[in-house]
Structure 1
Amino acid sequence: MTLLRGDALSTAFDHGSAAYDRLVAASPGYHAHLRRSARRLGLAEGRRGLRVLDLGCGTGASTAALLATAPHARITGVDASEGMLDRAKAKSTLAGVDFVHAPVEELADRLRPGSFDAVFAGYLFRNLDDPDTTLDLVRRLLVPGGHLAVHEYTLSGSTVHRTVWNAVCSMIIQPAGRLAGDADLYRHLRDSVARFDTAPAFAQRLRRAGFADVRVSPLPGWQTGITHTFTARTSEGTGEAA
């Protein structure tokens, strides 16, 4: 398995951005699952001025989910793919969102510690070279008691769920990617999930990074045991978990 990394992955997403929304919309529950994970972030819907960081926002599907949950939040969407961000910026429903074109690794120099009340990361961590460094950054960017939600393909560890994932990729996801001219990107999707943490392992990664109240919640439908929401928070005292 050869995974795309860094500039190669950003370039693949740039190329794939034209068909991306159409392909993910064909996945049953895709947008509903993002909204469910956004609700699990625990934002106060009516509160104004909540500062929310949407890491790996892509074409803005996760951003829209956050706005549906907390319409008065101040959202900053970050993505390393300029092509994906261009799609997000073009959506009138996302007017007022601040979008930043940058790899996650550069955010330490661009965002102040304690800048956000909550962070949402959808389909991001399995694409990073160093997930632990990014978790440390996220912890520092959150206020004391800040909330994190990670929405990610993380297999349960069951051979049944791994078999389902491989079958869906072989019969649906990869053929659709080839038709769209993005075979490398959707091969990466399959392999990155297979190589990444299981759900229990990623929960442990969050705890090692110093997050508290780590919870793992399944998502319904065919993605049960394949995609999970991870929620956690920083400690109340310092902006960093004890």
Structure 2
Amino acid sequence: MTLLRGDALSAAFDHGSVAYDRLVAASPGYHAHLRRSARRLRLPEGGRGLRVLDLGCGTGASTAALLAAAPHARITGVDASAGMLDRAMSKSWPPGVDFVHAPVEELAGRWRRGSFDAVFAGYLFRNLDDPDSALALVRDLLTPDGRLAVHEYTLGGSPVHRAVWNAVCSVIIQPAGRLAGDPELYRHLRDSVARFDAAPAFARRLRRAGFAGVRVLPLPGWQTGITHTFVARSTPAGRERS
């Protein structure tokens, strides 16, 4: 089981960006689940006056979800794939939305500590070499008591969840990836989920990184027990508070 990392993964997403929106649109609940996770940030007043970082924004599906939840926020989308980001930037966005092409690992020093009131990360952390370093960066970029929502494939504790994921990948996701000409990318999708933290383990990872108020929230439909929203808040100097 070999996972794509770094430049190889970015290149695979560059190639896959052509068909990506079409494929995810065919996934039941994909956009609705992102919108649900974005709402779980619970940004007040539609995000008025708030700065939100959308890490791993891809073609902009998570950006659109954040806009639906917080139409008055200033949103910065970041992605390591130039192809995916080009797709995002080609869409129509209101003032206050901008995009940055950079791997998460290269964001240190781009913004001052406490630059963002909230961070949203969709389908990101299982693709990183060092998710703990990325969480430390996120914690530093957030204001004290800033809000974090992570929307991620993280299997639940039951063997049934892993069996459903493998079955869906075998019957639907990987054949669709082959038809789109991106078999390597969708094999990576299957394997990266299998290799990554289960939901309780990722919650513990968040707590170790200094986040407080960590909650693991399910998503409905076939992704129950497969995809979760993790919500948390930052704390000064990464010290968790009761």
Q: TM-score when scaled to structure 1?
A: 0.97
Instruction: Write the letter of the residue equivalent to 1:53.
Output: L
Which residue in the other structure is 2:213 paired with? 213
Instruction: Write the letter of the residue equivalent to 1:119.
Output: V
**Residue correspondence of structure 1 range 84-163 to structure 2 within 5 A:** 84-93=84-93, 96-163=96-163
Tell me, in whole angstroms, the C-alpha distance in 2 between the residues paired with 1:130 and 1:35: 27
Tell me, in whole angstroms, the C-alpha distance in 2 between the residues paired with 1:241 and 1:107: 22
Which residue in the other structure is 2:75 paired with? 75
Tell me, in whole angstroms, the C-alpha distance in 2 between the residues paired with 1:145 and 1:183: 41
Kept in 2: contact 1:88–1:94 (CA 8 A) = no
Instruction: Write the letter of the residue equivalent to 1:112.
Output: R
Which residue in the other structure is 2:21 paired with? 21
User: Shift of residue 94 of structure 1?
Assistant: 5.6
Instruction: Write the letter of the residue equivalent to 1:128.
Output: L
Tell me, in whole angstroms, the C-alpha distance in 2 between the residues paired with 1:199 and 1:56: 19
Task: Give CA deviations for 1:6-44 in whole Å, capped at 9, x if unaligned.
Answer: 000000000000000000000000000000000001111
Kept in 2: contact 1:143–1:239 (CA 8 A) = no
Which residue in the other structure is 1:240 paired with? 238
SS of corresponding position for 1:173: helix
Instruction: Write the letter of the residue equivalent to 2:86.
Output: D
User: Shift of residue 240 of structure 1?
Assistant: 3.4
Tell me, in whole angstroms, the C-alpha distance in 1 between the residues paired with 2:69 and 2:185: 30
Tell me, in whole angstroms, the C-alpha distance in 2 between the residues paired with 1:239 and 1:146: 12
Tell me, in whole angstroms, the C-alpha distance in 1 between the residues paired with 2:18 and 2:133: 31
SS of corresponding position for 1:190: helix
SS of corresponding position for 1:202: helix
Tell me, in whole angstroms, the C-alpha distance in 2 between the residues paired with 1:144 and 1:128: 25
SS of corresponding position for 1:133: helix
**Residue correspondence of structure 1 range 170-189 to structure 2 within 5 A:** 170-189=170-189
Which residue in the other structure is 2:190 paired with? 190
Tell me, in whole angstroms, the C-alpha distance in 1 between the residues paired with 2:75 and 2:237: 19
Kept in 1: contact 2:209–2:238 (CA 8 A) = no
Tell me, in whole angstroms, the C-alpha distance in 2 between the residues paired with 1:210 and 1:184: 35
Kept in 2: contact 1:64–1:94 (CA 8 A) = no
SS of corresponding position for 1:113: coil
SS of corresponding position for 1:214: strand
Q: Does 1:230 align with 2:235?
A: no
Give structure 1 stretches of 5+ with no counterpart: none
Tell me, in whole angstroms, the C-alpha distance in 1 between the residues paired with 2:217 and 2:52: 21
User: Shift of residue 97 of structure 1?
Assistant: 1.3
Tell me, in whole angstroms, the C-alpha distance in 2 between the residues paired with 1:48 and 1:95: 13
Which residue in the other structure is 1:55 paired with? 55
Residues 4 and 17 (structure 1 numbering): CA distance in 2 closer, same or farther, change over 3 Å? same
Kept in 1: contact 2:5–2:129 (CA 8 A) = yes
Aligned identity (percent) is 83
Tell me, in whole angstroms, the C-alpha distance in 2 between the residues paired with 1:47 and 1:13: 30
User: Shift of residue 109 of structure 1?
Assistant: 2.2
Tell me, in whole angstroms, the C-alpha distance in 1 between the residues paired with 2:83 and 2:115: 26
SS of corresponding position for 2:107: helix
Instruction: Write the letter of the residue equivalent to 2:115.
Output: S
User: Shift of residue 46 of structure 1?
Assistant: 3.2
User: Shift of residue 219 of structure 1?
Assistant: 0.2
Deviates more, 1:115-124 or 1:84-93: 84-93
Task: Give CA deviations for 1:92-142 in whole Å, capped at 9, x if unaligned.
Answer: 146641100000000012121100000000000000000000000000000
